[in-house]
Structure 1
Amino acid sequence: MGLGAVPLDDVDDGDVRGPLRRCIVTRRELPPDDLIRFVADPSGTIVPDINRKLPGRGVWVTSERAAIEAAVKGNAFAKSLKRQVNVSPDLPATLEALFVERLLNALSLANKAGLLSTGAEKVEKLLDGGRAVALLHGTDGSPEGRRKLDAKFAAIQRDKGRDAPIVDWLTIEELSLAIGRSNVVHAGLIQGGATIRFLSQAERLRRYRSGLSAS
């Protein structure tokens, strides 16, 4: 917080605008994209407001599973809202499942938009043509099967001065379900709006699981 800056309140009173919000667990002031907003529904149950559109007074927690667990354990929602609330002990797991669902939906849309190729052979063709902008691997796939693809992708992107995003935190079953094909282990994405949205959702899930500072 800069010199002379006014400390942020814990509760937003329904106004979700502004460049920074304060986490009720860590007390750090962060951009809204690095946090998750929560509101109490009419029954007093705490619900996540992922899209920041729900009415009512809201509180913010750093978008990390560890921070959500700390908020639940420390009764941070009730303390900040200054009222009795109901908080499910499964809230951290529920949020993770929600982020996975959003990521799979984004992948399905990228596939429907014709931006996705599956299978090691087709992915290699994308790489040879210089079209791949991201690779996907089932987290339970063989490391040997991806090593050559990853090395080739990294070299190509390095020569272009670009990042080489690799998403490897979905299972083979999850990839297959989202794409509508069996046994999807490797896939490649080409440039497009749906690819950008998928990578944004992938990063959000990664950071939720690993922490904002994880590389």
Structure 2
Amino acid sequence: MRTPHNERVSSDIAETPRSRQADKASGSERRCILSGETHPRESLVRLAISPDGLVLPDPGAKAPGRGAWIAPDRAALEAAIADGHFKRALMRAFKGGPANTDGERVTLSYSDDLPQQIEMALTRHLTDRLGLEMRAGNVVAGSSRIEEQARQARLGLLLHTSDSSEAGRKKLDQAWRVGAEIEGSGARGQVLPLDRDALSVALGRENVVHLGVSGRPEDLEGSKKARAANRVAQAVNRLVGFAGGADAVCDRPVSDEALAAPSGAGGDDRIDT
């Protein structure tokens, strides 16, 4: 998580590498502090607090200290902030506030533009992830290359910028359906809440309009490419969900009938790291 200059996130409840590995292995769930519903932790957005009580987004869920989790739903967050539910939920989640170096409780606070901070953090998390996967050779750019690999069923994800043309999307979506052997299903790639300029700048390339991520998870389970596709899919789903497209599911070609938001029932309701 990127925090303000000279600001450190509270470490009153530290997360160790071993506990983090155990968390991933167990496929643990977390409870959204606003809705009370449980979801897989990778589908939620983590909030952490600095030593002076400032609530900050932690999209990578890597900041030390106590954390709270919310569903990626900007409209629900804004409504909760407006009616005071968010503040009350934070007080419960953080047990009134963090302790400073003297052991004294500090007052919880958050910026008026916290929803925008979260969306920007989720955007940065996605573009950083795409940059890492591109350097690892797992991202395919350029319509011709994407179409070729899509027809060969070598793509786990197909992504389009918000200002991509409908004709361009349809052509690549069709190639993806052919490769996946689901012609006629209406399945399509995911349209991102980012235009070509924003994505091009983030990835250091010119005119990035479409992207493919190598590896079909269902065909390459356990492989490095499958893990790459899953990592990007998680980042995309959270950003698209928070920005207003809660139906996003981009871990495989998605049809209109198959769209469904990640959900969970029961399980772990912890609010810590």
TM-score range, shorter chain: 0.7 to 0.9
Which whole-Å CA distance do the structure 1 matches of 2:157 and 2:123 have between them? Answer: 18
Q: 1:47 pairs with 56, 75, 94, which one?
A: 56
1:117-158 Cα offsets, whole Å, 9 max, x none, are 322222222234332332222210111122122112123213
* Correspondence for 1:121: 144
Q: 2:236 pairs with 198, 202, 213, which one?
A: 202
Give the counterpart letter for 2:79 in structure 1: A
Segments of structure 2 that go 5 or more residues without pairing to the other structure are: 1-11, 16-22, 98-106, 216-224, 249-258, 260-273
State yes or no: 1:61 paired with 2:67: no
Q: 1:79 pairs with 72, 88, 92, which one?
A: 88
Deviation at 1:93, TM superposition (A): 0.8
Q: What is the alpha-carbon root mean square deviation over aligned residues?
A: 2.9
* Correspondence for 2:37: 28
* Kept after mapping to 1: 8 A contact 2:200/2:207: yes
Deviation at 1:72, TM superposition (A): 2.2
Greater relative contact order (CA < 8 Å, ≥ 6 in sequence): 2
* Correspondence for 1:97: 120
Larger mean Cα displacement after TM superposition, 106-115 or 174-183 = 174-183
Give the number of the structure whose residues are more often helix, by fraction. Answer: 1
Give the number of the structure whose residues are more often strand, by fraction. Answer: 1
Give the counterpart letter for 2:65 in structure 1: P
* Kept after mapping to 1: 8 A contact 2:46/2:57: yes
* Kept after mapping to 2: 8 A contact 1:25/1:70: no
Aligned length: 199
Deviation at 1:49, TM superposition (A): 3.6
Segments of structure 1 that go 5 or more residues without pairing to the other structure are: 1-12
Q: Give percent identity, aligned residues only.
A: 31
* Kept after mapping to 1: 8 A contact 2:44/2:238: no
Aligned residue for 2:158, secondary structure, equals strand
* Kept after mapping to 1: 8 A contact 2:80/2:86: yes
Structure 1 pair 22–116 and aligned structure 2 pair: CA distance change class (3 A)? closer
Deviation at 1:63, TM superposition (A): 2.4
Deviation at 1:202, TM superposition (A): 1.0
Give the counterpart letter for 1:133 in structure 2: G
1:56-85 Cα offsets, whole Å, 9 max, x none, are 4x4332221123213322333542414642
Structure 1 pair 120–67 and aligned structure 2 pair: CA distance change class (3 A)? same
Deviating beyond 6 angstroms after TM superposition, the runs of 4 or more aligned structure 1 residues are 15-18
